[in-house]
Amino acid sequence: MKHNFGAGPGILPHEVLKQAAASVVDLNGIGLSILEISHRSVEFEAILDEAIKLVKELLNVPEGYSVLFLQGGASTQFALAPYNLLPEGGKAAYLETGVWANKALKEAKFFGETMVVATSKESNFNYIPKDYVIPTDAAYFHTTSNNTIYGTQLHEFPKSPIPVVCDMSSDIFSRTINVADFGLIYAGAQKNMGPAGTTLVIIKDDLLGKTGRKIPAMFNYQTQIEGGSMYNTPPCFAIYVSMLTLKWLKSKGGVPAIEKENDTKAAILYSEIERNPLFKTVCAKEDRSKMNVCFVTENPEHEKPFLKLCDEKGIVGIKGHRSVGGFRASIYNALPITSVHVLIEAMQEFAEKNK
């Protein structure tokens, strides 16, 4: 058995994989594969409708918001957010907490003035900036809820006088949020929702159509809303697997239930890192991510031997990002707590052998 701690594409529920695999051959007994049916067919329209319904239900999306399944990954949204929300001659504010926040900031510069309200770049993004002031004259304030590379997370979102745009790619559906606090939420599917290939967008409708610029149809949120996420052929299989994953999440009790599981997984893993003399965390305790647990060995020479031990125990995807080093245990929704226990036991065994 493999224990998949990969940062993304991440682990999916086993029952979802089984159903998705069967549907590649025959979708619900219709004699056709999910890969070959028309996106305009009754069968796929029902899948898309169900996926949107589940998003709204699981996140308690209020009236006045539209839910979209788009293509291009969250990286495309780095550009589409300012394209659709930043007026010509306007300004956007950004909280710089890591690589992805920085990339979003760079894309926004093509569309108008940008300002960084706070950054933790000087400390290699090992904490979340605090006590900053959000400007009232900006069109929106952009945040990244969870930083996969550095293992930090916004545990509380700031009260903002302007619309908040948030990249939730790596912790969407992992914890309770108030959608009404945001003007735009976007998230690549491949962490907690499904396979790579589709991106969830939740947009407050009354923010659109105010930029004063012409936007090409494919890049215009309003066009995508009017087309029901089907202005062009959507990523049918990725949406289908996302729908199955959301159904799985609902069956487990929804976001509040999975949040409790995630809290427990994170708590026991961080507890072992703190207790174990061979390991240490790399970021501020109050900002530690509950999705991507980043840690290193006290002795750098222990890194390769520990990775070898993990490999022997079927622990995969544990190697840290090159900009941080060490290890990164991504404990997304679908990762069972038994896998976390296997990792903890490996850490204890390694410490016992290297006293």
Q: d(Cα 218, Cα 23) in Å, to the nearest integer?
A: 29
Is residue 167 among the annotated active site residues? yes
Catalytic residue among 2, 49, 56, 100: 100
Q: d(Cα 134, Cα 142) in Å, to the nearest integer?
A: 10
User: What is each CA distance from 177 to 37, 267, 320, in whole angstroms?
Assistant: 35, 20, 28
Q: d(Cα 152, Cα 93) in Å, to the nearest integer?
A: 20
Q: d(Cα 167, Cα 81) in Å, to the nearest integer?
A: 10
Is residue 319 among the annotated active site residues? no
Give the DSSP letter of residue 36: T
Three-state secondary-structure class, residue 119 = strand
Is residue 191 among the annotated active site residues? yes
Element (H, E) at 261: helix 254-275
How many helices (H) and strands (E) the chain has is answered by 9, 14
Q: d(Cα 51, Cα 68) in Å, to the nearest integer?
A: 10
Q: d(Cα 328, Cα 340) in Å, to the nearest integer?
A: 12
Beta strands in the chain (DSSP E): 3-4, 65-70, 91-96, 113-119, 141-144, 146-147, 152-153, 164-167, 184-188, 199-204, 279-281, 292-297, 315-316, 327-330
Catalytic residue among 103, 106, 167, 181: 167
Q: d(Cα 176, Cα 2) in Å, to the nearest integer?
A: 29
Q: Annotate 208-247 with b (16+ C-beta within 10 A) or e (fewer).
A: beebeeebeeeebbeebbeeebebeebbbbbbbbbbbbbb
Answer for the pair 332, 291: CB distance below 8 angstroms, yes or no. Answer: yes
Tokens of 210: 């105010």
Catalytic residue among 171, 191, 287, 290: 191
**CB burial of residue 166 (10 Å; 0-12, 13-18, 19+):** buried
Catalytic residues: 100, 167, 191
